[in-house]
Chain A
Amino acid sequence: MASKSVKIRGKVKDGVAKVKVLISHPMETGTRRDADTGDLIPAKYIQEVVYSHNGKAVMTAYWGTSVSKNPYSAFTLKSATVGDMVGVSWSDNTGASGENEIPLK
C-alpha cells in the first residue's frame, strides 16, 4: 500500500463531523545543523494547508517553521453527512505538495 503524505479520519455524529489529519512532513526550520558535518539543513516547511468539504475550501491555514514535524490537526465540521468528501492539501516552501480526500464515516 502506497503511503500517502496525508492521513485523514472523519466521523459524523449528530450532523457534526470530527476530522483528524496527520501530515507526514519533516518541517525543517532551516536553522538546524547536521550533527556530523555541521552544515545547515535546508529549510523545508509547509506554508499552506487547505481543508475542503465536498471540494469547497472551508479552511486555509498558513503555517511556518514553528509547527512540529509530522503535524497533526483536528477540527469539527458542521452540516456534514456520512459520505461527504473531506480533503486536505498542503504545499511547502520548496514547492512540494501533497493531498488526500476521504469520505466521512
Chain B
Amino acid sequence: MFRFPNLAWPKRILMALALAVLLASSGLIAKPKPAGHYGYGKAATAAEIAGWDIDIRPDGRGLPDASGSVEDGEMLYEDQCAACHGSFGEGVGRYPVLAGGEGTLTEARPEKTVGSFWAHTSTLFDYIRRAMPFTQPSSLSAEDTYAITAYVLYLNDLVEDDFVLSKETFAEVAKLPNHGNFTPDPRPDVDAKRCMKNCKDPASVRITSEPTILAEEVAEDTPVKAASPQEQGAEVYNGACAVCHNQGVAGAPKLGDKADWEKRLSAGEETLIKHAIEGFQGQSGFMPAKGGRMDLSDTAVAEAVKFMLAESIN
C-alpha cells in the first residue's frame, strides 16, 4: 500500500510543481530536443540556406533571376568601381587592372585581366557579388551585379554596348578568351581505391612499414649513412636552439661566445645538459625546458648542447 513517508512530502512536491510551472512559463526549460543532436542549434530554413548558397558554376547554374545591361553597368561602374579600377579598367595606382593585356601572358610581366587571363565569366560575377565594392562587399543587388559584370565584359571588348546580361544570355559569354589555355589536372587526389565489399575490418588495419618507394630510392641512390652525433647536434641546434642562441636572445649564451660558455662549463657538461633538458633560471636569463621543444628527445638535446660547446670553445 502506498503512503507518504512523512507529511513534508506533499508540500515538497507541490513546491516542485509550482517551480516547474514558473520555469516553463518563463521559458527557462528547454523544449524537447530532437533525437541524435547535442541539444542546441536548429535546422536551417530554406531561406537561410538560400542566403548562403550563392555560388555560380561556370555554366551559369546558380545565377539569380535578373538581368543588367552594359548601359546601366556604365553608371554603376563609374560610381562604385572607377575610383580604383579606372574608367577603362586600366587600374588606378596599384589597384587591379580589369581590361587589356591581351597577348601579354608570355611576356616577362604578364598583365592578367578578365579579358587576357580569366577563364570563366561566372568567376567575375561571383567575385563582384561577394567582394565588391571593396569598402562595401556584398552590397550590390543581383541586377547591379549583372550590369557591372556586363560592363567589365564590355571594357574587355567582349560584348557590344547594347548587350544585356541575364541568366539566359550568360551562356554566350560563359567562357572567356583565355579559357582554352587552362587544362584539368588529371592527377588523382589520393591513390587509394574505394572498397565496396569484402573489406578489411578497420580495427585490424595497421601501418606496417614506411613508404616503400622512398626507402627503395634512398637505398639505390645513396648508401644509407647514419648521421654522426655531431651532425645530429648541429641539426637540432639549427632547428630548435638557433632562434635564441644565435643572437643571444633573452640572455641566452651566444654560439661562439667562448668566455660566456667557459664560465657556464665550469658547472660541468652534465649540469648544462640537465639544465637544457629540464629548464633553468640563470642569472642572465631563462632556459625553457628543451627550449620549448618538448618533441625533442633527451639525447637530441644533449647532442645539441655538446655541439654548441664544441662550436663555442674549440
- Name A's B-contacting residues (CB within 8 A): 1-3, 7, 9, 11, 20, 22, 24, 35, 70, 72
Closest to B101 in A: A70
User: Interface on chain B toward A: helix, strand, loop, or mixed SS?
Assistant: loop
Contacts of A2 in B (CB 8 A): 157
Closest to A72 in B: B90
A3 to B115, CA, bound (A): 12
Contacts of B100 in A (CB 8 A): 24, 70
- Name B's A-contacting residues (CB within 8 A): 78, 86-88, 90, 100, 108, 157-160
Partner of A72, one of B88, B108, B158, B159: B88
Contact A1 B158 (CB under 8 A): yes
Distance in Å from the Cβ of A46 to the closest Cβ of chain B?
A: 16
Contacts of B86 in A (CB 8 A): 22, 72
Distance in Å from the Cβ of B221 to the closest Cβ of chain A?
A: 36
Contact A22 B87 (CB under 8 A): yes
Contacts of A72 in B (CB 8 A): 86, 88, 90
Distance in Å from the Cβ of A102 to the closest Cβ of chain B?
A: 10
A35 to B107, CA, bound (A): 10
Given contacts A22-B87, A70-B90, 10 further A-B contacts (CB under 8 A): A1-B158, A2-B157, A3-B157, A11-B78, A22-B86, A22-B88, A22-B90, A24-B100, A70-B100, A72-B86
Contact B108 A35 (CB under 8 A): yes
Distance in Å from the Cβ of A45 to the closest Cβ of chain B?
A: 18
A-B contact pairs, 21 of them (CB 8 A): A1-B157, A1-B158, A1-B159, A1-B160, A2-B157, A3-B157, A7-B88, A9-B87, A9-B88, A20-B87, A22-B86, A22-B87, A22-B88, A22-B90, A24-B100, A35-B108, A70-B90, A70-B100, A72-B86, A72-B88, A72-B90
Identify which of A1, A20, A70 gathers the most chain B CB atoms within 10 Å of its CB.
Answer: A1
4 tightest Cβ-Cβ pairs between the two chains A and B: A22-B88, A3-B157, A1-B157, A20-B87
Closest to A1 in B: B157
A24 to B156, CA, bound (A): 13
A1 to B162, CA, bound (A): 12
A49 to B86, CA, bound (A): 21
Distance in Å from the Cβ of B59 to the closest Cβ of chain A?
A: 23
Distance in Å from the Cβ of A100 to the closest Cβ of chain B?
A: 12
Contacts of B157 in A (CB 8 A): 1-3
Closest to B86 in A: A72
A3 to B100, CA, bound (A): 10
Contacts of A9 in B (CB 8 A): 78, 87-88
Closest to B155 in A: A7
A7 to B159, CA, bound (A): 15
A24 to B100, CA, bound (A): 9
Closest to B102 in A: A3
A20 to B89, CA, bound (A): 12
Contacts of A7 in B (CB 8 A): 88
A72 to B158, CA, bound (A): 21
Distance in Å from the Cβ of B79 to the closest Cβ of chain A?
A: 11
Identify which of B78, B87, B90, B157 gathers the most chain A CB atoms within 10 Å of its CB.
Answer: B87
Identify which of A9, A22, A35, A72 gathers the most chain B CB atoms within 10 Å of its CB.
Answer: A22
Contacts of B158 in A (CB 8 A): 1
A9 to B82, CA, bound (A): 12
Distance in Å from the Cβ of B128 to the closest Cβ of chain A?
A: 20
Distance in Å from the Cβ of A104 to the closest Cβ of chain B?
A: 13
Distance in Å from the Cβ of A58 to the closest Cβ of chain B?
A: 20
